[in-house]
Chains A and B, each alone.
With several copies, the nearest count.
Chain A
């Protein structure tokens, strides 16, 4: 993890999204899919916390060597400010942050699921899996066509791809979970990776648990520091031995977790389905990567 002053090389709109490419060799060199960067805000604003973005591209070789790309949907003060940032401006960036997706050793067929800006890290992952000779299939969801991130790129990166939008403006009409079972069967998925909204992640987790498919998901939780100091970003994760759970920091102990080990009811406090820790502890979780 490094903190750098990174020059903006390129800034562009992509549908509903905005992409920034930075010159940040120290960060790009170590970046792996699932990791993220944190970006400082200007210091005369009424908002002051750093903003966090998944790494979409990190080029180690070729003409773009040492550059790093991230993608966001401008909506709040921080992302709106970033969307206005100009090329050659410098950003205060820390990265790469967090634990990356792990690659399967033996299993081959990887189904990659992303929703909205989740595609940013999922496409990066697809590249890395393919360079390791794995089969990659994709299921991409979004509210509408505008929010499907680089569909052409998705097609290029995958053996088969299914796109689903809530309004049917691109691909099928519906939600990721509607397509998931057919997709899993169709591509004979052996490993599932996902980056999506919390509710969707939970639905994916349910499918994975039911079918005992090893999986990894990248979560997002409100982060104050992004580097493990403040403990605001925790996710309740069942211990390997089933003896209970720990509140792990999404920024430094995640953001990639095994969904089978997340205590979803507790984490998604919105729906009051919380259960107390059972007196006998939680059942140990055996699905990869443990």
Chain B
């Protein structure tokens, strides 16, 4: 087996990517950006910046701050709007031949529906990914849609019902009942899940006595959240081994990606690492390839969930003593 050239293509129950490494939402711009440094031909797919119905200006700066092995950002859905995206940006991606997953956002259920309606029948788009961290204007308080399970189900259900193409629900790690939420998304019609979104985080400039971000709280990404993302993928994959999961959070090397595949991801997405190293996705795919060869696996899919049994782990996901006397 070690002599065979392993295959890197992955099949997420019908959604096929030539490589298991995709660009994560919001990290490759809309397709016109990146200055050609990211080689689109060496990506398994591109998840677009999250799209709203109208062009979005986003938040004011500072929009980023660096933290220990992490990046805090709050871009606030700056995007060209769904129409401009389809007319100006999508063609470029389609020409490059890279599978496109459109990220759907909104401030109301209606906006999600309208954005998805605009996108789902475009032949250049392979799948939709639903962003659930947008503030839910109908509920108020600035809380994101994912704070209420009913809202998650409403949004995912509505988008999935109308869409002709597969729908992925992008969930945050920030849910104690993550498995149930993921299950509810699947029952509402989601084809698969993307785990995880940036983790709410904050930093303070102590000299200026101000929060580092204009929004105070932003999304934490990068290596610091990798263990959190990995745990989220593992939990959901254990609960629903047949549902495709795209793992995302702090992946920067082939080895990092292999961690996710072993934990149960069907493919991975790369965000922050690509901002630092535009060829990170290509290098990660190579790294996966090397690992498959070394270990004698025939394909990336073969790694999935192949974690060897950890003796004392029986569904316990925060360990108390297995014996207490």
Closest A residue by C-beta to B221 = A224
Report A-chain residues with C-beta under 8 Å of the C-beta of B114.
Answer: none
Contact between chains at A231 and B78 (CB < 8 Å): yes
Closest A residue by C-beta to B70 = A48
Contact between chains at B214 and A234 (CB < 8 Å): no
| CB of B323 closer than 8 Å to a CB of A | yes
Interface secondary structure of B, over-half rule: loop
Report A-chain residues with C-beta under 8 Å of the C-beta of B311.
Answer: 269, 272, 274
Contact between chains at B214 and A269 (CB < 8 Å): yes
Contact between chains at A224 and B64 (CB < 8 Å): yes
Report B-chain residues with C-beta under 8 Å of the C-beta of A1.
Answer: 35-37
Interfacial residues of chain A within 241-282, with CB under 8 A of chain B in the complex: 244-247, 252, 266-267, 269-270, 272, 274, 277
| Bound: A223/B276 CA distance, A | 11
Closest A residue by C-beta to B273 = A48
Closest B residue by C-beta to A228 = B33
Contact digits for A31-64, partner B, Cβ 8 Å, 1 yes 0 no: 0000000001001001111100000000000000
Chain-A contact segment, one of B24-32, B149-157, B231-239, B257-265: B24-32
Report A-chain residues with C-beta under 8 Å of the C-beta of B223.
Answer: 46, 48
A246-B71 CB under 8 A given contacts A229-B28, A234-B78: no
| Bound: A246/B310 CA distance, A | 21
| Bound: A46/B252 CA distance, A | 13
A49-B78 CB under 8 A given contacts A40-B277, A229-B33, A231-B63: no
Contact between chains at A49 and B276 (CB < 8 Å): yes
Partner of A228, one of B29, B65, B68, B272: B29
| Bound: A228/B75 CA distance, A | 13
Contact between chains at A40 and B37 (CB < 8 Å): no
Tell me the minimal C-beta distance from A111 to chain B in angstroms: 28
Report A-chain residues with C-beta under 8 Å of the C-beta of B78.
Answer: 231, 234, 247
Contact digits for B294-313, partner A, Cβ 8 Å, 1 yes 0 no: 00000000000000011110
Partner of A266, one of B36, B60, B69, B278: B60
Report B-chain residues with C-beta under 8 Å of the C-beta of A270.
Answer: 208, 210
| CB of B241 closer than 8 Å to a CB of A | no
Report A-chain residues with C-beta under 8 Å of the C-beta of B62.
Answer: 221-222
Interfacial residues of chain B within 191-233, with CB under 8 A of chain A in the complex: 208, 210, 214, 222-223
| CB of B274 closer than 8 Å to a CB of A | yes
Contact between chains at A224 and B37 (CB < 8 Å): no
| Bound: A230/B73 CA distance, A | 9
Contact between chains at B276 and A50 (CB < 8 Å): yes
Contact between chains at B275 and A224 (CB < 8 Å): yes
| CB of B66 closer than 8 Å to a CB of A | yes
| CB of A225 closer than 8 Å to a CB of B | yes
Contact between chains at B61 and A230 (CB < 8 Å): no
A225-B275 CB under 8 A given contacts A1-B36, A231-B29: yes
| Bound: A270/B214 CA distance, A | 9
Partner of B58, one of A223, A234, A252, A266: A234
| CB of A91 closer than 8 Å to a CB of B | no
| CB of A227 closer than 8 Å to a CB of B | yes
Report A-chain residues with C-beta under 8 Å of the C-beta of B36.
Answer: 1
A229-B60 CB under 8 A given contacts A48-B222, A269-B311: no
| CB of B34 closer than 8 Å to a CB of A | yes
| CB of B5 closer than 8 Å to a CB of A | no
| Bound: A40/B279 CA distance, A | 13
Closest A residue by C-beta to B311 = A269
Report A-chain residues with C-beta under 8 Å of the C-beta of B279.
Answer: 3
| Bound: A131/B233 CA distance, A | 58
Contact digits for A80-117, partner B, Cβ 8 Å, 1 yes 0 no: 00000000000010100100000000000000000000
A227-B34 CB under 8 A given contacts A3-B278, A50-B276, A247-B58: yes
A236-B75 CB under 8 A given contacts A47-B66, A229-B27: no
| Bound: A235/B63 CA distance, A | 11
Contact between chains at A49 and B34 (CB < 8 Å): no
| CB of B148 closer than 8 Å to a CB of A | no
Interface centre among A48, A233, A245, by most chain B C-beta atoms within 10 angstroms, is A48
Report A-chain residues with C-beta under 8 Å of the C-beta of B68.
Answer: 46
Contact between chains at B310 and A269 (CB < 8 Å): yes
Add 16 more A-B contacts to A3-B279, A229-B38 (CB < 8 A). Answer: A40-B276, A48-B69, A48-B223, A50-B276, A92-B277, A221-B62, A222-B61, A229-B29, A230-B27, A230-B73, A231-B26, A232-B64, A233-B64, A234-B61, A269-B60, A269-B214
5 contacts between A and B (CB under 8 A): A222-B62, A224-B275, A225-B276, A228-B35, A269-B312
Q: Could you tell me which B residues sit within 8 Å of A by CB distance?
A: 26-29, 33-38, 49, 57-58, 60-66, 68-69, 71, 73, 75, 78, 208, 210, 214, 222-223, 252, 272, 274-279, 309-312, 323, 325
Q: Sorted from nearest, which 8 A-B pairs have the closest CB atoms?
A: A225-B275, A232-B64, A228-B33, A232-B63, A269-B311, A1-B35, A46-B68, A229-B29
